[in-house]
């Protein structure tokens, strides 16, 4: 009898202890913090870690898609009409981008490498072959005309040369030529005067099977927040194209990896050499990719806002004080002086006037915004799409009759969509981690549950102990009587 009640009371005490420890563990967030610190230590660029392997050779297939804008009314544009374009695409390339010449230094806190990108055309994911023709602005000619517009002798010489060959403001080339390069007559002629000039022009000329320079990244060994953060690019820790120190900063990663343990209030910085600047993305919404929950981050409109709306952007006005409107970026200083203007596709998030200036623009958030979907605990990218439009600044130049009466306009040439979705093998691995994470995070709640069950058992036993006692007392008189 004594042994039995001792057992019952220890069950009671034990249930309370379990309940309390469960509640304490749940309130103190010990298990989530423990998990985070494990991940923070594991996600480091170090030979042998999974994070390093994924960084060195991204397992998920990356696709680069190009959508060109075919100009339909060149003669009317020369007469001062609004340009009209038709979007033509996609032309899809599989992109391979391994990190090469990987070299750890500074005790494994930094790693140097180049990111070699190779593009293989995917006919079955494209609208047509690379030999399809696109009519667009003659970028080499526009560049040369802008360069020599104030040099009357040269301008006359070039203008009469162009008349001789029939070259004008617009030109028709194949998709392959426009992207990967073609020999340009005007550049070839100029080369006789300036032998170091390259007579081949292409928007992605020399970008295939090559890299954009040497990066040094932090490995995240000292601080998980520094995982894959760019320290220097081409041995420089800042850029020099822009007119303020803030705008010349190289911030964040290269956009292909992010640190683990990401919170919703975080600002994710990244540097894009295509865009010639750093930018950032903010949390937008929760998403699910292949059954995995993640956070969607995207650049807010302030990133590309004009200097009135975002004074920090004043440094992107080049030459100094020569400001364009919101949503467009003059990158000519970083494109050898070519009058190239970057924007989001269809001038998404840009000043309405740019959309109105070109017939055929139709900005849509879903198709045209840049997004990064991240698994917050590990920082693994579930899905991402980088979207950029290449435009040319076109204006009438009095010294060149080739520009006719053209109105000043930012004319879209092509937009690109570089996208990735997590591969099935990595997704399965991540699913497993999530299951384990759920088990670990729920241990306190399991303890609380166990405490409640034990408490129930305790009460049941207490009641049963009393009930037989009373029945015995009731029975006794019955027997004696
Ligand atoms: C990583 O380790 C493997 C095998 O130990 C070695 O072959 C490889 O060169 C190392 N990579 C780097 C970047 O050090
Ligand atoms: C890029 O280079 C690779 C190998 O050097 C080649 O197979 C591929 O066709 C090239 N892609 C383009 C678009 O020229
Ligand atoms: C396209 O062709 C490639 C082989 O060239 C193949 O690997 C890929 O699965 C195909 N994609 C589609 C969508 O059919
Ligand atoms: C683009 O426009 C030109 C000129 O009108 C035309 O020859 C060409 O076929 C068009 N390209 C495509 C892919 O439709
Ligand atoms: C770089 O980051 C700093 C804050 O760390 C910020 O003030 C600056 O505007 C950023 N520059 C760019 C170009 O994003
Ligand atoms: C972001 O939120 C976390 C809690 O979710 C908080 O600890 C952290 O201080 C916040 N960071 C900033 C920059 O507000
Ligand atoms: C910046 O954009 C806002 C809103 O579109 C506009 O009101 C303002 O005039 C613009 N400022 C400049 C300098 O263009």
Ligand 5 centroid vs 128 CA: distance in angstroms? 41
Same domain for 287 and 335, yes or no, is yes
- Is the pLDDT at 468 greater than 60? The verdict is no
Measured between alpha carbons, how far is residue 348 from residues 148, 344, 388 in Å? 33, 5, 10
- Is the pLDDT at 455 greater than 70? The verdict is yes
Ligand 6 binding site (Cβ under 6 Å of any ligand atom):
263, 265
Q: How many domains does the chain have?
A: 2
Ligand 6 atom 10 nearest Cα: 265
Same domain for 383 and 459, yes or no, is no
- Is the pLDDT at 471 greater than 80? The verdict is no
Ligand 1 centroid vs 102 CA: distance in angstroms? 9
Give me the residues paired with residue 66 across strands: 91, 416
Residues with Cβ within 8 Å of residue 394, at least 6 apart in sequence: 137, 142, 169, 339, 403, 406, 408, 409, 410, 411
Ligand 7 binding site (Cβ under 6 Å of any ligand atom):
306-309, 323, 325-326, 351
Q: Does residue 47 sit within a domain?
A: no
- Predicted confidence band of residue 481 (pLDDT cuts 50, 70, 90): very low
Q: Does residue 478 sit within a domain?
A: no
Q: Does residue 473 sit within a domain?
A: no
Does the beta carbon of 57 lie inside 6 Å of ligand 1?
no
- Is the pLDDT at 469 greater than 80? The verdict is no
What is the pLDDT, as a whole number, of residue 462?
A: 83
- Predicted confidence band of residue 223 (pLDDT cuts 50, 70, 90): very high
CA separation for the pair 372, 130 (Å, rounded) = 29
Q: Does residue 276 sit within a domain?
A: yes
Average pLDDT estimate for 352-367: 96
Ligand 7 centroid vs 255 CA: distance in angstroms? 29
- Is the pLDDT at 463 greater than 90? The verdict is no
Ligand 3 atom 14 nearest Cα: 124
CA separation for the pair 60, 420 (Å, rounded) = 7
Q: Does residue 328 sit within a domain?
A: yes
Q: Does residue 116 sit within a domain?
A: yes
Residue 25 phi, psi dihedral angles, 5° rounding: -65, -40
Same domain for 112 and 239, yes or no, is yes
Q: Which ligand number lies closest to the CA of residue 123? A: 3
Q: Does residue 309 sit within a domain?
A: yes
Q: For residues 139 and 177, is the Cβ–Cβ distance under 8 A?
A: no
What is the pLDDT, as a whole number, of residue 1?
A: 60
Cβ neighbours around 63 below 10 Å, total: 18
Same domain for 68 and 7, yes or no, is no
Residues with Cβ within 8 Å of residue 347, at least 6 apart in sequence: 327, 328, 354, 355, 361, 363, 389, 412
Q: What is the pLDDT of residues 396-434, one digit of tens each?
A: 999 999 999 999 999 999 999 999 999 999 999 999 989
Same domain for 360 and 237, yes or no, is yes
Same domain for 412 and 445, yes or no, is no
What is the pLDDT, as a whole number, of residue 384?
A: 97
Query: End-to-end distance of the chain based on CA atoms, in angstroms?
Result: 28
Ligand 4 binding site (Cβ under 6 Å of any ligand atom):
70, 88, 132-135
- Is the pLDDT at 180 greater than 70? The verdict is yes
- Predicted confidence band of residue 480 (pLDDT cuts 50, 70, 90): very low
Q: Which ligand number lies closest to the CA of residue 134? A: 4
Ligand 3 centroid vs 176 CA: distance in angstroms? 20
Does the beta carbon of 66 lie inside 6 Å of ligand 2?
no
Q: For residues 200 and 181, is the Cβ–Cβ distance under 8 A?
A: yes
Ligand 7 centroid vs 249 CA: distance in angstroms? 25
Q: Does residue 410 sit within a domain?
A: yes
- Predicted confidence band of residue 9 (pLDDT cuts 50, 70, 90): confident
Tell which atom from ligand 6 comes closest to the C-alpha of 265.
1
Ligand 1 atom 13 nearest Cα: 102
Q: What is the pLDDT of residues 289-318, one digit of tens each?
A: 999 999 999 999 999 999 999 999 999 998
Tell which atom from ligand 7 comes closest to the C-alpha of 325.
14
CA separation for the pair 299, 285 (Å, rounded) = 13
Ligand 1 atom 6 nearest Cα: 47
**Helices 152-165 and 139-147 sit at what angle, rounded to 10 degrees?**
160
Ligand 1 atom 1 nearest Cα: 47
Instruction: Domain of residue 23: give its range.
Output: 2-37+441-463
Higher pLDDT: 468 or 143? It is 143
Tell which atom from ligand 3 comes closest to the C-alpha of 125.
13
Residue 56, sorted as left (phi over 0), alpha (psi -120 to 50) or beta, turns out to be alpha
Same domain for 258 and 400, yes or no, is yes
Min mean pLDDT across 216-230, 370-384, 437-451 is at 437-451
Ligand 4 atom 8 nearest Cα: 133
pTM higher than 0.75, yes or no?
Answer: yes
Ligand 6 centroid vs 265 CA: distance in angstroms? 6
Same domain for 146 and 11, yes or no, is no
Q: What is the pLDDT of residues 370-389, one digit of tens each?
A: 999 999 999 999 999 999 99
Same domain for 21 and 77, yes or no, is no
Same domain for 26 and 105, yes or no, is no
**Average pLDDT over all residues of the chain:** 92
Same domain for 273 and 417, yes or no, is yes
Average pLDDT estimate for 451-471: 76
Same domain for 233 and 90, yes or no, is yes
What is the pLDDT, as a whole number, of residue 233?
A: 97
Query: Percentage of the chain surpassing pLDDT 90?
Result: 77
């Amino acid at each position: 009898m004594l042994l039995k009640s001792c057992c019952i009371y220890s069950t009671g005490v034990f249930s309370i202890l379990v309940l309390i420890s469960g509640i304490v563990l749940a309130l103190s967030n010990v298990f989530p913090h423990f998990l985070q610190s494990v991940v923070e230590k594991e996600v480091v660029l170090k030979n042998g870690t999974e994070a390093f392997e994924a960084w060195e050779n991204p397992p998920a297939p990356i696709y680069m898609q190009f959508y060109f804008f075919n100009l339909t009314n060149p003669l009317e544009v020369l007469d001062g009409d609004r340009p009209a374009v038709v979007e033509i695409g996609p032309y899809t390339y599989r992109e391979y981008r391994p990190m090469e010449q990987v070299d750890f230094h500074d005790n494994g806190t930094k790693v140097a490498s180049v990111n070699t990108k190779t593009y293989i055309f995917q006919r079955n994911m494209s609208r047509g072959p690379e030999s399809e023709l696109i009519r667009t602005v003659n970028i080499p000619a526009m560049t040369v005309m802008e360069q020599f517009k104030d040099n009357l002798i040269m301008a006359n010489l070039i203008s009469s040369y162009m008349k001789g060959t029939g070259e004008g403001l617009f030109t028709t080339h194949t998709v392959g030529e426009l992207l990967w390069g073609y020999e340009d007559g005007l550049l070839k002629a100029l080369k006789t005067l300036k032998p170091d000039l390259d007579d081949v022009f292409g928007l992605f000329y020399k970008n295939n099977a090559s890299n954009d320079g040497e990066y040094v990244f932090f490995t995240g060994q000292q601080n998980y927040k520094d995982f894959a953060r760019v320290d220097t690019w081409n041995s420089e820790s800042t850029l020099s194209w822009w007119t303020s120190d803030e705008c010349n900063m190289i911030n964040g990663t290269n956009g292909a990896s992010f640190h683990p343990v990401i919170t919703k209030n975080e600002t994710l910085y990244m540097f894009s050499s295509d865009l010639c600047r750093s930018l950032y993305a903010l949390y937008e919404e929760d998403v699910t990719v292949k059954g995995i929950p993640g956070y969607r981050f995207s650049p807010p409109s302030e990133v590309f806002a004009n200097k009135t709306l975002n004074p920090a952007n004043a440094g992107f006005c080049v030459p100094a004080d020569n400001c364009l409107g919101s949503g467009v970026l003059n990158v000519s200083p970083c494109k050898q002086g070519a009058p190239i203007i970057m924007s989001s596709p269809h001038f998404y998030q840009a000043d309405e006037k740019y959309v109105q200036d070109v017939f055929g623009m139709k900005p849509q958030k879903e198709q045209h915004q840049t997004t990064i979907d991240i698994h917050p605990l590990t920082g693994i990218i579930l899905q991402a799409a980088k979207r950029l439009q290449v435009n040319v600044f076109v204006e009438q130049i009095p010294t060149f009759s080739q520009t006719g009466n053209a109105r000043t306009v930012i004319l879209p040439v092509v937009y690109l969509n570089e996208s990735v979705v997590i591969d099935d093998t990595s997704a399965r691995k991540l699913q497993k981690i999530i299951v384990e994470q759920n088990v670990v995070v729920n241990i306190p709640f399991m303890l609380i549950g166990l405490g409640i069950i034990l408490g129930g058992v305790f009460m049941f036993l207490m009641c049963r102990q009393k009930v037989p006692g009373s029945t015995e007392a009731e029975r006794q008189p019955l027997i004696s009587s």
